[in-house]
Each structure stands twice: as structure tokens, then as C-alpha cells.
Amino acid sequence: MTLRTALTSILSFAVAASIAACDVDPDNLTGGRNRGSAGQGTDPAAQPGDPTQPGSCQEGKPHPGFGGNDFASERKPGAMGADRRRVKPFSALRTEMTRALGQMPGAMAASGAAFGEDPPRWFSEPTAGAVSIYTTYGLGFSGCYDTMNGASYAQAPTPQTAADECAKMQRKFWQRPPTDEEGKACVALAVDGLASEANARRRWAHVCASILASAGFTTY
């Protein structure tokens, strides 16, 4: 093997490896450089022999304590990237709402109790519930309505404007582009679901609020 052949082989391997890395699920902490940039594409969990699935690679060594019990023995195997997302606590949600809308909804500051906000120096894992989801939606609606004062929101959504606005808001609020399915759900709400809402601005505000109430925004 000549030096040129060897270098070519190494380079080819490196290119192939980087292309493969680009296919990794963006939610996974695998070191891929495109993390957080997509959220669409094929699900690696569906691929046979996928290294992200449990049992496909050598597991870690036991961690016995003084009593001889393995601290890690009760850990359940799970796929890489699965069950990583968590519900945003109120402290994160309030700043996220400001990021998404450019201003904090008026009632946001007084809404901490609806999310079970913990007192200082106390922690409990945040969870979602009917009341917190409704409250998020209500805050999102008022925040969206207040900021949607442009002329374009005075017109009822059409399939085209809904597709454009949904994609724009989903990209901004979720910090990733929507999948086709997510885009269609948003457009269906704007065009058909809210057809009985006569006030175009309120209709757009509902569309905006539904994106803010979705898991793409309320979890991270």
C-alpha cells in the first residue's frame, strides 16, 4: 500500500464516518455536530443492529459498594436519546415565553403556582397537568394576541399563509424545523379547526398558543 493509497483510505473513512454521524438523531448526546438542528428524518431505533438500542454494545462495569451491592444493577436498559426530555420548570418557561414572543405575557409573573413552582432552595421534578397545560395555553394566547398586531394577522389563515406561519413559529418556538406531521397538525388547526372563529387575529393567536402549549416548547 502506497502512502497515497493509505491517506486516501483514511480520508475516505473519515468522510464516511462524518456522513454517518450526520444521520444521528439530533436529540442524542452522541457528539454529532448537527445536534438541535433537525428533529426529522428516519428513526434510528427502527434500524436493526442499531448501536443506540440497548444490548447492542458492551455495558459498563458493575459499581459495587462496601456492602457488595452493585449500585447500577437496578438501572433499566434504554435506548440512547430516549426519555431524556423533561418538562420545563416555570423558571425556564417564563424566560422561554419571552424569547418566543419578544415580551412576557402580562399574567406570566403571577402564574407560578399553576405550575407548582417550588419555593426557594426546594426542588421537585416538574410535571405537566391539565391545569398547567391550560395555563400555558392561556398565557400563550394572550401573549400571541398582544404581539400579533401586524396587517397579515387581520386576514384569516389560508392553507398557504397557515403553512408559512406555522413553519415560522414552530421553527422559532421549538428551535428546530417541524416534521411534516407537526406542520400538518398546525395547518389543520389554523385552516379547519378554528374556522368558526370570526376574529382572524384571535384565530392566529390560537394557532400560536397551540405551538407554545406543545411538547416542543414546554419540554427540553
* Site residues (CB under 8 A) for another protein, limited to 137-166: 137-138, 141-142, 145-146
Q: Which residues of 82-98 are buried (b: 16+ CB within 10 A; e: fewer)?
A: eeeeebbbbeebbebbe
Q: How does 157-177 read in b/e, with b if 16+ C-beta sit within 10 Å?
A: beeebbbebbbebbeebbbbe
Question: 28 with 80: CB under 8 angstroms?
Answer: yes
- CA gap 211, 14 in Å, rounded: 39
Candidate segments 15-23, 49-57, 63-71, 122-130, binder of another protein by CB under 8 A: 122-130
What letter would DSSP give residue 89? P
The yes or no reply on residue 186 touching another protein (CB under 8 A) is yes
Question: Is residue 74 part of the contact set for another protein (CB under 8 A)?
Answer: no
d(CA 71, CA 107): 45
Residue 147 contacts residue 205 (beta carbons within 8 Å): no
Q: How far apart are CA 207 and CA 103, in angstroms?
A: 18
Number of amino acids touching another protein (CB under 8 A): 58
Please report whether residue 132 would count as binding another protein according to CB under 8 A: yes
Determine if 38 is a binding residue for another protein (CB under 8 A). no
CA 178 – CA 81 distance, rounded (Å): 19
**Of residues 82-121, which lie at the interface with another protein (CB under 8 A)?**
82-87, 111-116, 119
Strand partners, 64: 70
- Contact call for residue 129 and another protein (CB under 8 A): yes
Binding segment for another protein among 29-37, 59-67, 94-102, 187-195 (CB under 8 A)?
187-195
User: 22 or 137, CB closer to another protein?
Assistant: 137
**Interface residues for another protein in 162-181 (CB under 8 A)?**
170, 178-179, 181
CA pair distance 180, 202, nearest whole angstrom: 25
Looking at the Cβ atoms of 19 and 110, the one nearer to another protein is: 110
Q: Which residues bind another protein (CB under 8 A)?
A: 27, 81-87, 111-116, 119, 124, 126-135, 137-138, 141-142, 145-146, 170, 178-179, 181-182, 185-186, 188-189, 193-194, 196-197, 202, 205-207, 209-211, 213-216, 218-219
